[in-house]
Amino acid sequence: MTILFFLIQIVYSLLQAAAIFAGLEHWLGWPNWVCALVGGIFVFGLRITPITVPLGIVGAHYGFQWSWPMSLLLFFAPLLLIITLAIFSRAAGGTKWLVRW
Protein backbone atom coordinates (compact mmCIF):
# COMPACT_ATOMS: atom_id res chain seq x y z
CA MET A 1 0.00 0.00 0.00
CA THR A 2 2.88 2.35 0.76
CA ILE A 3 4.31 1.80 -2.73
CA LEU A 4 0.94 2.66 -4.26
CA PHE A 5 0.78 5.95 -2.32
CA PHE A 6 4.37 6.70 -3.31
CA LEU A 7 3.62 6.15 -7.01
CA ILE A 8 0.48 8.28 -6.81
CA GLN A 9 2.50 11.07 -5.17
CA ILE A 10 5.18 10.88 -7.89
CA VAL A 11 2.60 11.12 -10.70
CA TYR A 12 0.76 13.93 -8.89
CA SER A 13 3.99 15.90 -8.37
CA LEU A 14 5.02 15.48 -12.01
CA LEU A 15 1.59 16.67 -13.13
CA GLN A 16 1.95 19.76 -10.94
CA ALA A 17 5.46 20.40 -12.30
CA ALA A 18 4.20 20.09 -15.89
CA ALA A 19 1.43 22.58 -15.11
CA ILE A 20 3.99 25.02 -13.71
CA PHE A 21 6.13 24.66 -16.85
CA ALA A 22 3.04 25.25 -19.02
CA GLY A 23 2.17 28.30 -16.92
CA LEU A 24 5.60 29.80 -17.43
CA GLU A 25 5.40 29.17 -21.14
CA HIS A 26 1.92 30.66 -21.48
CA TRP A 27 2.28 33.58 -19.09
CA LEU A 28 5.74 34.76 -20.08
CA GLY A 29 5.99 33.40 -23.62
CA TRP A 30 9.51 32.09 -23.09
CA PRO A 31 11.01 29.23 -25.12
CA ASN A 32 10.56 25.68 -23.79
CA TRP A 33 14.13 25.23 -22.60
CA VAL A 34 14.07 28.47 -20.58
CA CYS A 35 10.71 27.51 -19.03
CA ALA A 36 12.09 24.09 -18.14
CA LEU A 37 15.18 25.63 -16.54
CA VAL A 38 13.35 28.32 -14.57
CA GLY A 39 10.48 25.98 -13.73
CA GLY A 40 12.90 23.33 -12.53
CA ILE A 41 14.55 25.86 -10.25
CA PHE A 42 11.16 26.94 -8.87
CA VAL A 43 9.76 23.42 -8.47
CA PHE A 44 12.78 21.47 -7.26
CA GLY A 45 15.02 24.16 -5.82
CA LEU A 46 13.33 27.22 -4.39
CA ARG A 47 9.79 25.90 -3.75
CA ILE A 48 8.29 29.39 -3.52
CA THR A 49 4.61 28.56 -3.17
CA PRO A 50 3.18 32.06 -3.83
CA ILE A 51 4.89 31.95 -7.24
CA THR A 52 4.54 28.31 -8.25
CA VAL A 53 0.87 27.82 -7.35
CA PRO A 54 -0.50 30.68 -9.52
CA LEU A 55 1.83 29.63 -12.34
CA GLY A 56 0.61 26.06 -12.07
CA ILE A 57 -3.05 27.06 -11.99
CA VAL A 58 -2.63 29.25 -15.08
CA GLY A 59 -0.63 26.50 -16.77
CA ALA A 60 -3.27 23.87 -16.04
CA HIS A 61 -6.02 26.15 -17.32
CA TYR A 62 -4.40 27.44 -20.49
CA GLY A 63 -1.73 24.82 -21.16
CA PHE A 64 -3.80 21.71 -20.40
CA GLN A 65 -7.12 23.34 -21.42
CA TRP A 66 -8.68 22.45 -18.06
CA SER A 67 -11.52 24.35 -16.41
CA TRP A 68 -10.72 26.75 -13.59
CA PRO A 69 -12.16 24.46 -10.87
CA MET A 70 -10.06 21.52 -12.08
CA SER A 71 -6.97 23.73 -12.25
CA LEU A 72 -7.54 24.89 -8.68
CA LEU A 73 -8.22 21.34 -7.53
CA LEU A 74 -4.87 20.19 -8.93
CA PHE A 75 -3.07 22.32 -6.37
CA PHE A 76 -5.54 22.44 -3.48
CA ALA A 77 -6.79 18.83 -3.38
CA PRO A 78 -4.25 17.72 -0.72
CA LEU A 79 -5.24 20.63 1.51
CA LEU A 80 -8.93 19.81 1.14
CA LEU A 81 -8.22 16.15 1.90
CA ILE A 82 -6.27 17.02 5.06
CA ILE A 83 -9.00 19.39 6.28
CA THR A 84 -11.68 16.76 5.62
CA LEU A 85 -9.71 14.07 7.46
CA ALA A 86 -9.13 16.38 10.40
CA ILE A 87 -12.82 17.27 10.65
CA PHE A 88 -13.99 13.66 10.49
CA SER A 89 -11.28 12.53 12.87
CA ARG A 90 -12.27 15.19 15.38
CA ALA A 91 -15.93 14.20 15.00
CA ALA A 92 -15.04 10.55 15.62
CA GLY A 93 -13.51 11.49 18.95
CA GLY A 94 -9.78 11.38 18.41
CA THR A 95 -6.75 12.13 16.29
CA LYS A 96 -4.44 9.24 17.18
CA TRP A 97 -4.34 7.78 13.67
CA LEU A 98 -3.50 11.19 12.16
CA VAL A 99 -0.35 11.53 14.30
CA ARG A 100 1.56 9.49 11.72
CA TRP A 101 0.84 12.07 9.01
Per-domain residue ranges for the chain? 2-71
Read off the pLDDT of each residue in 71-94 and give the average, rounded to a whole number: 81
Name the pTM for this structure. Answer: 0.78
Count of alpha carbons within 13 angstroms of residue 61, beta-carbon side? 14
Residue from 47, 54, 49, 44 nearest 22 by CA: 54
For 19-57, what is each residue's pLDDT tens digit?
Answer: 999 988 988 888 889 988 888 888 888 878 888 899 899
